Every structure is written in structure tokens, then in C-alpha cells.
Amino acid sequence: MSSDHSSKDPRLHALHGHFERPRQFTFPFCYTPHPMCVAAASEVQRHVDESGVLRQEHGGGKMFGVLVVDTGDGGTAFLAAYSGLLAGRNDWTYFVPPVFDACRPGGYFRMRERQITEVGCEMERCAADPARLALMKEMKDVEEEARHATAAYRRQMEEARLRREETRRGGTDEAVEERLRNESRFMKAELRRMKRAYAARLEELAARLRPLDGRLERLRTRRRLMSDGLQEWLFRRYEMLNARGERRSLPDIFATFSAGAPPAGTGDCCAPKLLQYAYQRGYKPLCMAEFWWGGSPSGELRRHGHFYPSCTGKCGPLLRYMMQGLDVEPDPLGTVFEGELKIVYEDDDIVVVDKPHGMLSVPGRGCCVSALSLMCARYGGAGEALAVHRLDMDTGGLLVMARTAQAQRALHAQFEARTVSKRYTALLDGTPDCPGEGTIDLPLGADFNDRPRRKVDMETGRRAVTRYEIMGRRGDRTLVRLYPMTGRTHQLRVHCAHKDGLGCPISGDRLYGKGGGRMCLRATSLTLVHPSTGKTMTFCVDDGFQEM
């Protein structure tokens, strides 16, 4: 099933071996790579290592992609791509070209980019104007002087008030009382005069500063408008194809498939470049995969050699358009779960269930079947089971729901106060290089261009803390217990996978690990206070990993 078309198209590479073709094209946001893609990826990895192109990549690693295609004459071959630029270039002949070459020397984009840079340089000169800096320093000095002077005078006023109170306690006549009142009025008026004097000095300085700041603000506005205009011009140059032969620009696609504008870098990821090139050359896409090769960037969780789904922020709307006309695999996350929901405990106030892996906690993603909906059906009405907390769809284990609004409020208060104790059990791929027990403290933030992924964000992320215990080995995997001290989205998954955490992803984690099969993470213990009786209750279930 291989065909060598390199003499006709140097970017089309022979796929050696005998493979059964996939029946449907890859659903790019959740997939297990097809053997054809695995073989193609191996060829790309060999080329990258032998050519040394990645050694010129300052970030240390890069996302690559492969697209296996039917060449139209019965042959099968593959195309390769990288995300963005590779070592500052977009013209490596082994890989497909960009959809639009904004890097072309002398082109409109580069010319306009230089103009924007010149405005930025002018902003820097304006911001560093000695006259402006001197005024700003003088204003800061006057503000500091005003703060100290008014604080010192307030202390004098307080001391004078105490002396007046002492005088009054010794007895006063009308003349003395009038003198004390006049002293109080004078000091208050003096404080107001002091504040007005400092305010006048600051206003005089601000008036001298306003023309300089106004010029800086005009430059800032000019640069923003130029940048926005150039970005819009660039997006209009990306005329994307789909399998039906239709052609639309990025802004038009996002207007249809998304509520917002395209994020910067849209169209430069692997998948759109591969599909665009295939459509242009008349190749039929068969299957696709993306993988990370090289060191992991700071904050993100990218592991050398692992396959990853396409990003959702930039590629979500775009690929939904580009795959129109292809027979695409169904979204595995949108399938209806048909397993059983085991009830661990129930009474008139709460119900605790053992949610299976693959079931939603609450309705979502266009699927109404969830643990909550099943319990609502059991009790005969939507108001008879109320959500309290959630588990990821890929996470199984203990989930508590309320039977009344009063019980829901009481349980919510416990979760918010972090008095609910939770223990998770997980199987990790590999062996953590860390002590047998300890605490992981890594702040997490959203990866806005690749939801629902999270990343470690040391600057703006929310604090996330997990205590762990390494329990032993299960073949080539490690059994751990995890105790989340905070409740951030994907906290346990990121803390396990990140190099500054346990450094080993949870087995089967499709977002932060290798994927494939079920994710080996279960909520195995839950301790809470019953909302009506006040009794502390602990629920436990097996991890279910013994036979894995």
C-alpha cells in the first residue's frame, strides 16, 4: 500500500509497509493514532533527528503532524507539517508549506510589520523622554511628601484632641470651651488647606505631563489599530478549503463556527496546513495525527514522542469547516454511555454513587445522559437530585449529590470550606523521580487556545496543592494515592504529568499523557459531614486497577 511520488511532489513521502486503511477519517480532537500514522510519524521523527533542524529550535521542541493520503492512483503516501515556524523558517522542503507565506521578504506583511515596529520604537522614545520622566518623578515625590505631611499633621491633631479631652475632664468654663472648639476647627481647616495645596501642586505637574502622555497614548492607539488592521488583512489571506472544494477566509469561518475572532496563529497549526495542501493537490485524506518531538516548553505539558489532539481554540472551528465533505469518526466524547451507575449510599438528603469512567457528571457536550440525569430519572423528577461537585468524564469513582436544596447548600458550604476529604487512586506511566510521599504546589491556569487543557502558570495561575503517596509498582506503572487540597480543574492530571510534579502522566490520560484505553484515575474515598444528622461519614470504593 505504498507509492513513491517524490519525483512529482517532494513533500509527498512514501509510506512503507502493509496496512489496512481506516474506514473513516480521524476525529482530530480525541483519537488513537492509526498504525499508518504511527509509521509515518516514525519517518518524520527519523528525518528530524538526522537533519538536525530541531537543534536550531530555541524552544527545544515542536509539534509535528502527519496526514496519510490516497494519492489518487491507488497509492498511499503521507504529508508532514510542523506548527508555526521551525527554527525561524517556514520553507523546509520536507514539510508542507504554510497556507499563506507572511514571512516573504518585501511583502506587504513584512513592510507593515516594520512600520508597526517603528511606531513601537517611537513609543519607547516617548516613554523615556527625560522631561516626562522628571515630571513623573517630581509627581511621585510630591505624592510621597503629601502622604507623610498629612499623616504627621493627623498625629498632631490626635494629640491635640487628647489634650482637649484631658482639659475637659478637669472642668472648663465657656471661654475655655470656646477656645478648645476653635482649636479643633482651626486644625481641621488647616488639614484641608494642606490637602488643597498639595492637590494644586500635583495638578500643575499633571497639566505639564498631559501633553507628553497624550502623545504616548496616541502612538499606543495608532499601533493597536495598525496591528489589528494587519491581523485582519492577514486572516483574509488565509482562504481555507474543505473536502467539498469550498473556499472561505478565516474570519468568515469563525463567524460561522465560533462566537469570536480567530486567535493569533490560526491556520498555522499542523492539521490545517496538512489538509489545505492535500486539498490543493487533489489528495484524499485518510487519517491524521500530531505529536510532540523534543523538550517540553515551560508551563505546558508536552512529552517527547507523545501524540496529542488538535487544539480547540485555533483549530476547533477551523477543522470543523475543513473536514466538511469527509467521513469523519464520531466524537467519542459525544457518545451516550450505556453502563451502570452503582449507588453506594442513599437517604432522604444525599446519594453517593460510583460514577464509571466515561460518564459525564452532569449533562453537557450535547449529551443528556449523565450521573445526575440518571439519578433524576430514578427519583422521578429533575428536582430530586442536585449537583454538588463534579468528576471529569474520564475520571471514575465517588460522586455525591443532594436530594434537597437545603442539603445542597450545606454540602456546597463544606466543599467551599475544603472540609470534605477526598482521596484518589491513580496508575502512572513510569516511575516518579521523587520521595515516596510529599506535596505538589503548582499554580494552574487555562490554556485558552487549547481548551479544556490546563497549564502551569507561575504568574497568574490559581494556587493548586496536592498531597501524594507512592504505593508501589504495577508492572511498568506506579500506583499512587492523591489528596487534593484545592479543587482546580484537571489538578491531579497536571500535577502528575508535569516535570515539577510527579513527572509521570496518569495512564490513559488523553490530554496530558499517551491516551489509549481508560484513564486510570478514580475517586476512591470521600469523607463529609451529613447535612442533617451532623455525623461524619466516609465512603470508599475499590480502585479497580487490580486486573489492569
Give residue 142's pLDDT band: very low, low, confident or very high (50, 70, 90).
very high
Task: Give pLDDT tens digits for 188-207.
Answer: 999 999 999 999 999 999 99
DSSP summary character for residue 261: P
**What would the pLDDT profile of 493-514 be if each residue is shown by its tens digit?**
999 999 899 999 999 898 888 8
Q: What percent of the chain has pLDDT over 90?
A: 71
pLDDT in tens, 212-236: 999 999 999 999 999 999 999 999 9
What are the φ/ψ torsions at residue 354 (nearest 5 degrees)? Answer: -105, 95
Under a CB-based contact definition with an 8 Å cutoff, are residues 320 and 258 in contact? Answer: no
393 three-state secondary structure? coil
Q: Is the pLDDT of residue 242 over 70?
A: yes
Contact yes or no for 47/94 (Cβ under 8 A): yes
**Does residue 333 register a pLDDT over 80?**
no
Q: What is the pLDDT of residue 365?
A: 56
Q: Is the pLDDT higher at 6 or at 24?
A: 24
Query: Phi, psi (5° rounding) for residue 268?
Result: -105, 5
Do 15 and 265 contact (CB within 8 A), yes or no? no
- Given pLDDT bands bounded at 50, 70 and 90, which one contains residue 2? very low
What is the average pLDDT across 30-58? 91
pLDDT in tens, 351-380: 999 999 888 888 865 555 789 988 988 887
Percent of the chain with pLDDT over 70: 94
Inform me whether the pLDDT recorded for 122 exceeds 90: yes
Would you say 201 and 139 are in contact if contact means Cβ atoms under 8 Å apart?
no
Q: Which ranges of 56-173 does DSSP label H, i.e. alpha helix?
A: 108-127, 130-169
pLDDT at 3: 47
Provide the mean pLDDT of the chain. Answer: 90
CA 412 to chain centre: 26
Task: Give the residue numbers marked as catalytic.
Answer: 392
Q: Which residue has the cell 445542597?
A: 408
Cell 454538588, residue located: 388
* Over residues 472-501, mean pLDDT: 92
**Reported confidence tier of residue 277, pLDDT bands at 50, 70, 90:** very high
DSSP three-state, residue 425:
strand
Contact 316, 258 (CB under 8 A): yes
